Amino acid sequence: MTDDSALRREMVDVCRRMNSSGINQGNAGNLSVRSSDGFLITPSSLPYETMTPEDIVEMGFDGTYVGRRPSSEWRFHRDILRERQEIEVVLHCHSLYATTLACHHKTIPSFHYMTGVAGGTTIRCAGYATFGTQALSDNALVALKDRLACLLGQHGQISLGKTMEAALWLANEVETLSRMYVQALSLGEPPVLSDEEMARVIEQMRKMSYGQAPDPEGTNDLARPRDAAV
């Protein structure tokens, strides 16, 4: 095993957690991580329960691979990692509520402020294309423009991250938002937050990701360590 053995072990762990958390079922879904010479990706048609680090496939951006046959969705993993240099991880799963919305080609609007975790005012739904095709990859890239997540029409969801933990967390958030939106729709189309408010929300989220206080207003109501000077 090469010096990417730690990445391979973490990939197996994250894949099993996808299933144990309920955001994926059976052999569905796949995971890729950028590596020094290309990327690592889960193999095709291998149950996560029996998958080992040695089964993870090494791929180049030219589409060549070493080892087992890669996931049938390798094209959108390759294209996302090639086009989005700030992204290190691509996670795809068939979570139930996100897929429910995707079956209706519904974009998730800013009905709840947490929609902003994907980087914009919406979580778009990509147009349908046959699984494993370049057309599906092309559609996903459009839906992911300036976003960290999208739905795939009549298919599932994609979540991106700088780490595997971040991508897994986002996939769970997308599924939670999808469930809330499906339930909200039972009462009618919910109101949405304005673009101006979502811009404030996204900026607050950006600040918090750097450990800064979320509220820029005032000086006396900011959280601070108890032993800090007043």
d(CA 97, CA 183): 10
Would you give the DSSP letter of residue 53?
Answer: G
> Which tokens is 58 given?
């090494």
By the 8 A CB rule, do 157 and 93 touch?
yes
Angle at 109 between CA 103 and CA 115, to 5 degrees: 105
**Cα→Cα distances 139→144, 152, 206, Å:** 9, 8, 27
Would you give the DSSP letter of residue 100?
Answer: H
By the 8 A CB rule, do 50 and 23 touch?
no
> Which tokens is 132 given?
């494993």
By the 8 A CB rule, do 171 and 23 touch?
yes
Residue 194 CB neighbours (<10 A): 11
Question: Catalytic pick from 73, 88, 173, 175?
Answer: 73
The verdict on whether 73 is a catalytic residue reads: yes
Question: What residues are labeled active site?
Answer: 73
